Amino acid sequence: MNFDFSQEEEDFIKEVRNFIKEEKLKDNAEIVFAPNREADATTKVDSAPRRAFMKELAKKGYLGMSWPKKYGGQEKDGIYDYLLNEELATVGAPAPGKGVGSIGQTIIRHCSEKLKKEFLPQILNADIEFALGYSEPGAGSDLASLKLKAEKKEGGWLINGQKTWTSSAHFAEWYWLAARTGPDQPKHKGISVFLVPMDDPGIEVHPIETMGEHHTNGVFLTDVFVPDEYVVGEVNKGWIYICEALNYERFTFYTIGPLENKFENLLELVNNLKRDGKTLKEFPEVKNKIIELAIDVEKAKVLQRKVLSVAIKDEVPSVEAAIFKLFSTQLSQKMANTAMDILGREGLFHKDGKDAIAEGKWEWSYRGTVVDTIGAGTSEIQKNTIAKKALELPL
Ligand SMILES: Cc1cc2nc3c(=O)[nH]c(=O)nc-3n(C[C@H](O)[C@H](O)[C@H](O)COP(=O)(O)OP(=O)(O)OC[C@H]3O[C@@H](n4cnc5c(N)ncnc54)[C@H](O)[C@@H]3O)c2cc1C
């Protein structure tokens, strides 16, 4: 068994680290690179610095590395997308988003030449960003129950209804939107995906702030007309495209660097902070908790490598990804809980508060990690996947 990267992959990591070093010298670096930032960096960082950084990634050829050459990619193995994401996540930088991931790859695979010509170059140049409009007030885990109404009209579709939890809707140019086009079909077979400009006058975006400070949105659509050519692939095949996303994102979704960083930060605090004249590490109960966390971080690393080992074989790591997502997000919560328990009064202080330990990182983490176990499939849904696909247990 060998967990090491190849020489070429190591060279790539070195190259990305040098790129990051240069970028850190620029104005706005403290906005772009913020390892203490708990909420998803892609949605939280101010739009202008994030976009400038994405442009630099584009210039370096880091966007769409695994895309076919025909569409501006480099046909590199997906592992390079993973390595890039891991390095960026480790330094708290925004990562290339859904555009080069599931959206770009679905356009390549299923869309007309017109849509390919319009969207793919803009994605590779980091000219546009997307919001993902799947969840609705009555359709989250059971996404196939979505109700957003799309009625057939001459030359296109008229869309009316509501989406919720749409991250990025407050800055994205395009909405990747799932709606019900076949109300009389079985629920999985009556969904289509549309590409809709976010500046359509029929779209209203209302902010929703989560307890972890992840900015997401409610989106209301009134008589939004979408021409036929902006339907993704075929009408009523949307569910297939939605389900393929894990295949397209199998290399990029699951980073481990932020978890390792947090553990190192906690370890440093335990080694240096004092209580009642003793450093925290001298208390046996603190030491025990830290050892447990150290072992859990190693477990998470191995589980993440299992995801990669399946992805590298060009297979979809659905069970492995579910196990890693469940374990690592629960571990983030456990780590934040442990920090709250052992850091004392100042550990509870908000990041804007005077005297907050580690700039309030742990209090933010305590709130922020709750959200991690909900987005991209809740813990219960991950357990369902494991039950059904790996253990043949009833749901
Ligand atoms: C910060 C954040 C950002 C998000 N960004 C986006 C986005 O950009 N675009 C988008 O479309 N969505 C987004 N989401 C939505 C996210 O995908 C949903 O919140 C998630 O899928 C859960 O759906 P729900 O909130 O409707 O909860 P529900 O599905 O109503 O679940 C409620 C509870 O019931 C449990 N449950 C549900 N079904 C089952 C079952 N079959 N078995 C066992 N337990 C079950 C769940 O685990 C959960 O505990 C975001 C969510 C968050 C929190």
Rounded Cα gap, residues 263 and 257, in angstroms: 10
List, in sequence order, every residue forming a beta bridge with 217; answer none if it has no partner: 207
Which residue's CA is the closest to the ligand 1 atom numbered 41? 381
Residues in the chain with pLDDT values less than 50: none
Phi, psi (rounded to 5 degrees) for 29: -60, -35
Q: What spacing in Å lies between the alpha carbon of 143 and ligand 1's midpoint?
A: 9
Question: For the packed helices 7-23 and 47-59, what is the interaxial angle rounded to 10 degrees?
Answer: 140
Tell how far the Cα of 373 is from the centroid of ligand 1, in angstroms: 9
Q: What is the pTM of this model?
A: 0.94
Total residues found in the chain within this entry? 395
28 lines ligand 1 (CB under 6 A): no
The average confidence (pLDDT) of the chain is 93
User: Percent of the chain beyond pLDDT 70?
Assistant: 98
Question: Does the beta carbon of 384 sit less than 6 angstroms from any atom of ligand 1?
Answer: yes
Coil/strand/helix, residue 279 = strand
Cα 245 to ligand 1 centre (Å): 17
Please tell me if the CB atom of residue 361 comes closer than 6 angstroms to any atom of ligand 1: no
pLDDT, position 30: 87
Three-class secondary structure of residue 207 per DSSP: strand
Task: For residue 138, report the distance from its CA to the centre of ligand 1, in Å.
Answer: 10
E-strand stretches of 117-190: 130-133, 149-153, 156-163, 174-180
What whole-number distance in Å separates Cα of residue 290 and Cα of residue 276? 19
* pLDDT score recorded for residue 358: 87
Q: Identify which of 326, 374, 379 to mutate to test ligand 1's pocket (most ligand atoms within 8 A of the CB).
A: 374
CA of 210 to the centre of ligand 1 (A): 13
Q: What share of the chain is helix, strand, coil (3-state, %, to 5)?
A: 50, 15, 35
Q: Establish whether residue 140 lines the binding site of ligand 1, counting it when its CB lies within 6 angstroms of any ligand atom.
A: yes
Question: Taking the CB of residue 210, how many other CB atoms lie within 10 A of it?
Answer: 17
Cβ(175) to ligand 1 under 6 A?
A: no
Question: How high is the pLDDT of residue 40?
Answer: 62
Q: Are 371 and 213 in contact (CB under 8 A)?
A: no
d(CA 382, CA 324): 9
User: pLDDT tens, 266-318?
Assistant: 999 999 999 999 999 999 999 999 999 999 999 999 999 999 988 888 888 99
Whole-angstrom distance, CA of residue 308 vs CA of residue 311: 5
Distance 346 CA to ligand 1 centre (A): 33
Q: What is the pLDDT of residue 45?
A: 64
Residue pair 339/362 in contact (Cβ under 8 Å)? The answer is yes
Our CA dihedral for 305, 85, 82, 110, rounded to 10 degrees, sits at 130
Distance CA 232, CA 223 (A): 19
378 CA distance to ligand 1 middle (Å): 6
In order of their start, the domains of the chain are 7-96 (1.10.540.10), 130-246 (2.40.110.10), 254-390 (1.20.140.10)
pLDDT on residue 44: 63
Identify the pLDDT of residue 208.
94
Q: How many CA atoms lie within 13 A of 205 on its CB side?
A: 23
Looking at ligand 1, which residue's alpha carbon is closest to its atom 18? 140
pLDDT at 34: 83
> How many CA atoms lie within 13 Å of 380's alpha carbon, on the beta-carbon side?
4
| C-beta 214 within 6 A of ligand 1 | yes
Ligand 1 and 166: CB distance under 6 A: yes
In degrees, rounded to 5, the angle at the alpha carbon of residue 164 between the alpha carbons of residues 172 and 380 is 115
pLDDT tens, position by position, 351-383: 888 888 888 999 999 999 998 899 889 999 999
Task: Provide Rg for the chain, Cα atoms.
Answer: 22
Question: Does ligand 1 have an atom closer than 6 angstroms to the CB of 216?
Answer: yes
Instruction: List helix spans (H) across 96-186.
Output: 104-110, 113-124
Question: Is residue 167 lining ligand 1, measured as CB closer than 6 Å?
Answer: yes
